[in-house]
Amino acid sequence: MQTRCVVDEKFVPKVGMIFKTLEEVGKFYKHYSKLADFSTKIRNTTRDGDKIKNQLIVCTKEGRWKSKISPTLKTNPSTGLNCPARIYVHIMKDVGLWTISRVFLNHSHPCCPDWAEMLKQHKELSMFVHRTIKTNEEAGIRLSKTYQSFVAAADSHRELSFIEKDVRNYITREVQNIYEEDDAKEFGKAAFEYFRDVVSFDTTYNTNRYNLVLGSFMGVNHHGQSILLGCALIKNEDIQSFKCLFECWLHCMGGKAPKGILTDQCASI
């Protein structure tokens, strides 16, 4: 059986198409596969030294491998169906561009045989979805209702690039991050309560890539070990920047100033 998924011609890969980078080719074929309801994988890549010469991208149902393990004993059996759908791309050395040299559009299986499998590759939560989920969560709206609002807006759950579980996982991760941030703040604050006799403030570290100054507040514990009580990136080493930094750090430490502070010889400090 040969099946070809119906997709708008402007999104269908064709021999001779030109792309600036291999990444662009991958994105184009991935977008086509999403519209056609199948997922892809890189089957083979040929290199010349450390540079890629060509690449074969196929449908994930490509191939059928024989295994010594009985299919009845497998927890995750092979899903290969010898699907011929694929594209072959190579770089044109004279111009440094990528072109599609071979295309097979027909599949050996119906399009979208497994919606869950297709979503593994194409699931995506946009910034709009992120904001909506967080806003609704803060307003006390149940996650199931939030997801149903997305379904209603898209006319069908099949038009979405995510499922309800992804919405729940997103909120779980956000809450976990907040807890971890709060724990870090409380740890620094507690350490400051015990070891605020003398605090050292140092700005000798500088990040080369962004040219930002790293200012760190250090204390010393009962074992003579240095402990980090806070740090920040600042753009300029001027009076206003240091004033703002010290005020923010002091606020985080509960408004309690250290008994003594050591700094470098920066005139602005």
**Cα separation, 83 vs 67, whole angstroms:** 19
- Residue 178: Cβ within 10 Å count: 10
24-28, 32-36, 129-133, 260-264: which range is least confident on average? 260-264
H or E element, residue 234: strand 226-234
Mean pLDDT of 125-144: 83
Which is higher by pLDDT, 208 or 139? 139
Q: Report which DSSP code applies to 16.
A: T
H or E, element range at 20: none
Give the residue, 201 or 269, on which the prediction is more confident: 201
Percent of the chain predicted with pLDDT > 90: 17
Q: With a threshold of 0.85, does the pTM exceed it?
A: no
Of the pLDDT bands very low, low, confident and very high (cuts 50, 70, 90), residue 198 is confident
Distance CA 243, CA 87 (A): 59
The Cα 222–Cα 201 span in angstroms is 19
Instruction: Tell me how crowded residue 15 is: count the other CB atoms within 10 A of its CB.
Output: 11
CB 232 within 8 A of CB 201: no
Residue position matching structure tokens 């140092």: 202
The pLDDT assigned to 63 comes to 72
State the pLDDT at residue 56: 95
pLDDT tens-digit map of 62-92: 875 555 555 555 554 445 578 899 999 999 9
Separation CA 98–CA 19 (nearest Å): 5
Q: What local confidence, expressed as pLDDT, does residue 179 receive?
A: 47
What's the confidence (pLDDT) of residue 121? 62
